[in-house]
Chains A and B, each alone.
Chain A
Amino acid sequence: MKRPLQMVLLVLIGLGLLHASLFTDLCLRYVKEGMRPLVIASGVLLVLLGVAEALDVWSHRRPGGDDASREAGSHDYGDRGHGHDHSTAPHVAWLLLLPALSLLLYAPPALGAYTASREAPKVVTERDHFDPLPATSPVPLTLTDFIGRVQQDRDQAIKGRSVEMTGFVTPDRRGDGWYLTRTIFMCCAADAQFVKVRIHGSPAPPADTWVSVTGTWHPGGTLGTSTAVAALDARAVKRVDRPVNAYTDALPLAPSP
Chain B
Amino acid sequence: MQKTEELAEEAEAAVAAPPAPDEAPEARPWLWPLLLLAAATLPGTALFVIGRWGDEPALQAWRTICLAVTVQALPFLLLGTALSGAINAFVPARLFRRMLPRNPVLAVPVAGAAGVVLPGCECASVPVAKSLIGRGVPEAAAFAFLLSAPAVNPVVLTATAIAFPGSPAMVAARPLASLATAAVMGWLWLFLGRAEWLRPGVRHTGHQPGRSRWTEFRRGLRHDFLHAGGFLVLGAMAAATFNVTVPRSVLDTFSGSLWVSVLFLGALAIVLAVCSEADAFVAASLTGFSPVAQLAFMVVGPMVDLKLIALQAGTFGRAFAVRFSAATTVVALLCSALAGGVLL
**Is there an interface contact between A191 and B230, defined as CB atoms closer than 8 Å?**
no
Minimum C-beta distance from A53 to chain B (A): 7
Do B215 and A72 touch across chains, with their CB atoms under 8 A apart? Answer: yes
Smallest CB gap from A53: residue in B: B222
| Also in contact, A189 and B234, with CB within 8 A (given A81-B13, A82-B204, A94-B39) | no
Contact with A along B212-249 (1 / 0, CB 8 A): 10010011111101110111011000011001100111
Q: What 9 pairs across the A-B complex have the smallest Cβ distances?
A: A187-B278, A92-B230, A114-B57, A189-B68, A84-B201, A118-B247, A188-B72, A30-B68, A186-B281
Known A122-B285, A188-B69; further 7 A-B contacts with Cβ < 8 A:
A30-B64, A39-B75, A78-B9, A91-B35, A96-B233, A99-B233, A114-B58
- Report yes or no: B249 in contact with A118, Cβ–Cβ below 8 A: yes
A35 is an interface residue with CB less than 8 A from chain B: yes
Q: Which A residues lie within 8 Å of B114 (CB)? A: none
CB pair A27–B249 under 8 Å, yes or no, is: no
Partner of B219, one of A38, A86, A112: A86
B314 at the interface (CB under 8 A from A): yes
Kindly state the separation between the CA atoms of A91 and B229 in the bound complex, as whole angstroms: 11
Residues of B within 8 A of A (CB): 2, 5-6, 9, 12-13, 16, 23, 35, 39, 46, 50, 57-58, 60-61, 63-72, 74-76, 78, 82, 165, 200-201, 204-205, 211-212, 215, 218-223, 225-227, 229-231, 233-234, 239-240, 243-244, 247-249, 252, 272-275, 277-279, 281-282, 285, 287, 314
Chain B, residue nearest A193 (CB): B285
Count, A-B residue pairs, CB within 8 A: 191
Selected from B9, B72, B215, the residue in CB contact (under 8 A) with A81 is B9
**Interface-lining segment among A103-111, A144-152, A154-162, A236-244:** A103-111
Question: B218 and A90: CB pair below 8 A?
Answer: no
Q: Which residue of A lies closest to B59 (CB)?
A: A108
Closest Cβ–Cβ distance, residue B218 to chain A (whole Å): 6
In the assembled complex, how far is the CB of residue B123 from the closest CB belonging to chain A, in whole angstroms?
12
Q: Please give me the residue from chain A that is nearest to B55 by CB atom.
A: A109
Q: Which residues of A contact B (CB under 8 A)?
A: 1, 6, 9-10, 13, 17, 20, 27, 29-31, 35, 38-39, 41-42, 45-46, 49, 52-53, 56, 68, 70, 72, 74-78, 80-84, 86-87, 89-96, 98-99, 102-103, 106-115, 118-120, 122-123, 125-126, 186-191, 193
Check B219–A99 contact: CB distance below 8 A. Answer: no
Nearest chain B residue, comparing its CB with the CB of A208: B57
CB distance from B25 to the nearest CB of A (A): 14
- Contact among A77, A99, A112 with B70 in the assembled complex (CB-CB below 8 Å): A99
Given the complex, which residues of B lie within 8 Å of A31, measured CB to CB? 68, 71-72
Q: Are A89 and B58 in contact (CB under 8 A)?
A: no
Given contacts A81-B9, A119-B248, contact A191 B278 (CB under 8 A): yes
Known: A38-B75, A108-B67, A109-B64. A98 touches B233 (CB 8 A): yes
Complex contacts, A115 vs chain B, CB 8 Å: 57, 61, 244, 247
Chain A residues with Cβ under 8 A from B5's Cβ?
A: 74, 78
Q: Which of A38, A77, A107, A193 is the most central at the interface, judged by chain B CB atoms within 10 Å of its CB?
A: A38
Do residues B201 and A96 form an inter-chain contact, with CB atoms below 8 A? no
Closest to A7 in B: B222
Closest to A92 in B: B230
Minimum Cβ distance to chain B for residue A96 (Å): 5
B278 touches A39 (CB 8 A): no
Cβ-neighbour of B223 out of A83, A86, A103 (below 8 A): A86
List, in ascending order, chain B residues with CB within 8 A of A76's CB.
Answer: 219
Query: When chains A and B are docked, how far (Å) is the Cα of A9 from the Cα of B223?
Result: 12
* Contact between chains at B78 and A45 (CB < 8 Å): yes
A115 to B68, CA, bound (A): 14
**Residues of A contacting B69 in the complex (Cβ-Cβ under 8 angstroms):** 188, 190
Chain B nearest CB: distance from A5 CB in Å? 10
Closest residue to A49 on the B side, CB-wise? B222
> Bound state CA distance, A96 and B215, in angstroms?
23
Interface centre among B9, B60, B71 (most CB of A within 10 A): B71
Q: How far is the CB of B169 from chain A (nearest CB, A)?
A: 17
| With A30-B68, A39-B75: A49-B223 Cβ-Cβ less than 8 Å | no
Nearest CB on A from B307, distance (A) = 10
- B165 with A125: CB separation less than 8 A: yes
Residue of A nearest to B240 (CB): A190
Closest to B38 in A: A91
* Contact between chains at B71 and A82 (CB < 8 Å): no
